[in-house]
């Protein structure tokens, strides 16, 4: 009864809210679905192949690769810092967070099985709570994407400044004034200028294949850090602390940020030939990523202890080949994935503002995407604290998308009465844990950001 009632509410709301909800779709699925019926997009075969029902469905191997790409990201660089904040015993929390996020990913799959209409995260929200659920899910996902894009720019600026210290650029203004931009600020601007053309691309298929390099890059970074410790004389001299209670909120927020791939889990599930095996894909992806994250956390903390920085690459010795290779490899992820973060936001704005009679749609689209990139640059320059920002994203937005919303949607769709007592208890524990992480982590991150100004 709970399923049919939720589905009927979603259908009733659909006609009235179709116009207002246009553009508030799942980030990757959205671009495919929105353009599928557009005659102008009929020739864009590459973009259409990127859709969830492309060429009959993806194999388990390909879906595992896409899942690893979703979970592997810049969180790898901050994981040693997270361990230094929480202490050695907080590694157990990394395993707990991984297990919880894997389980909530399964809950999303079950919600999708409840209705053919639930093809993306926002649709699951609509199935559970109607229009309000859809809007809430979309808002959290888009906010997370926007802040992650900002984090990419900060990361690029920090690492390029380490590679090329002392770099500056003078700009002559009217009246004989000279403005000098240097260091991280200069590199943030330059990186944005280089990335900007990639945001103008209309085919997400091209961007998806480019972003696949992030999986290999994540493994290479771990190997480079290990090489720095073993062959370049850094060694494993730091002992670290067993537990740091005051730093646990930050550690939990960063751990959760590492597993914030729930936004595209529905798309991955829809893309499979054998959707019933998606649970196996989740298990493989989470196990492999946890091994990679855990290895990096232990390596970085053993090498630098409590002195490890928010990005472990900033601790690496200058001038060494392994250090340069690690940093250059690190720079691949933001360059390859920034456009994937920004494109769904830009598409949503375009669909809200553009009308059928609008002229120069292409020019208007380029303008929207350019302004969006400029806004991320402004925020990156104003809040240049990578670790604190990622902890804030993990504590506030990733916890909502990865822990709280899947549990709430699942209970609403299926009903407490239909779930077993053990499962209800487990979900209740996850809701309590997620609420604590969201409250304490958000407060701690905001406090540190304010203190840095």
CA distance 48 to 202: 11
271-324 per-position pLDDT tens digit: 788 888 899 999 999 999 999 999 999 999 999 999 999 889 889 988 788 888
Domain that holds residue 24: 2-452
Give the helix/strand (H/E) hosting 364.
helix 361-382
Residues of the chain with confidence (pLDDT) below 50: 1-55, 204-205, 207-208
**How many helices and strands (H and E) does the chain possess?**
21, 2
Number of folded domains in the chain? 1
Phi, psi torsion values for 212, nearest 5 degrees: -60, -20
Is residue 37 a contact partner of residue 131, using CB atoms and an 8 Å limit?
no
Closest CA to 268 of 279, 258, 257, 260: 279
At 54 the three-state DSSP class reads: helix
CATH of the domain at 280: 1.20.1740.10
pLDDT per residue over 353-409, tens digit each?
876 555 567 788 889 999 999 999 998 888 777 777 778 888 888 899 899 999 999
Integer Cα distance of 133 and 21 in angstroms? 12
């Amino acid at each position: 009864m709970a399923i049919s009632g939720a589905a009927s509410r979603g259908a009733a709301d659909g006609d009235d809210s179709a116009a207002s909800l246009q553009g508030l779709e799942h980030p990757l699925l959205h671009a495919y679905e929105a353009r599928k019926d557009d005659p102008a997009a009929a020739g864009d075969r590459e973009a259409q192949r990127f859709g969830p029902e492309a060429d009959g469905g993806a194999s388990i191997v390909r879906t595992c690769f896409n899942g690893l790409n979703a979970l592997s990201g810049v969180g790898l660089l901050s994981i040693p810092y997270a361990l230094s904040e929480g202490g050695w015993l907080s590694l157990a929390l990394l395993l707990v967070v991984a297990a919880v996020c894997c389980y909530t990913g399964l809950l999303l799959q079950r919600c999708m099985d409840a209705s053919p209409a639930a093809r993306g995260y926002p649709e699951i929200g609509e199935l559970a709570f109607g229009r309000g659920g859809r809007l809430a899910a979309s808002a959290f996902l888009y906010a997370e994407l926007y802040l992650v894009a900002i984090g990419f720019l900060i990361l690029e600026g920090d690492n390029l400044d380490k590679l090329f210290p002392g770099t500056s650029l003078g700009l002559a203004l009217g009246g004989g004034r000279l403005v000098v931009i240097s260091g991280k600020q200069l590199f943030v601007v330059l990186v944005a200028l280089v990335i900007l053309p990639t945001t103008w691309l209309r085919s997400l298929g091209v961007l998806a294949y480019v972003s696949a390099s992030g999986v290999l890059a994540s493994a290479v970074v771990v190997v480079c850090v290990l090489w720095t410790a073993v062959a370049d004389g850094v060694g494993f001299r730091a002992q670290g602390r067993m537990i740091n209670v005051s730093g646990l909120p930050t550690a939990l927020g960063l751990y959760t940020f590492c597993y914030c791939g729930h936004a595209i889990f529905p798309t991955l599930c829809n893309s499979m030939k054998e959707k019933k095996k998606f649970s196996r894909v989740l298990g493989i992806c989470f196990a492999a990523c946890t091994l990679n994250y855990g290895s990096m956390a232990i390596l970085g903390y053993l090498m630098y202890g409590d002195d490890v920085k928010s990005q472990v690459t900033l601790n690496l010795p200058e001038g060494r080949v392994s250090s340069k290779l690690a940093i250059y490899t690190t720079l691949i992820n933001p360059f390859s994935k920034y456009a994937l973060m920004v494109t769904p936001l830009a598409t949503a704005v375009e669909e809200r503002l553009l009308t059928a009679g609008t002229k120069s749609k292409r020019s208007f689209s380029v303008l929207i995407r350019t302004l969006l990139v400029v806004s991320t640059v402004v925020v990156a320059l104003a809040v240049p604290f990578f670790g604190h920002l990622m902890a804030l994203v993990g504590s506030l937005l990733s916890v909502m998308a990865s822990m709280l919303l899947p549990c709430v949607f699942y209970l609403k769709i299926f009903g407490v009465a239909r779930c077993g007592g053990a499962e209800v208890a487990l979900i209740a524990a996850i809701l309590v844990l997620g609420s604590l992480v969201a409250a304490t982590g958000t407060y701690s991150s905001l406090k540190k950001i304010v203190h840095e100004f």
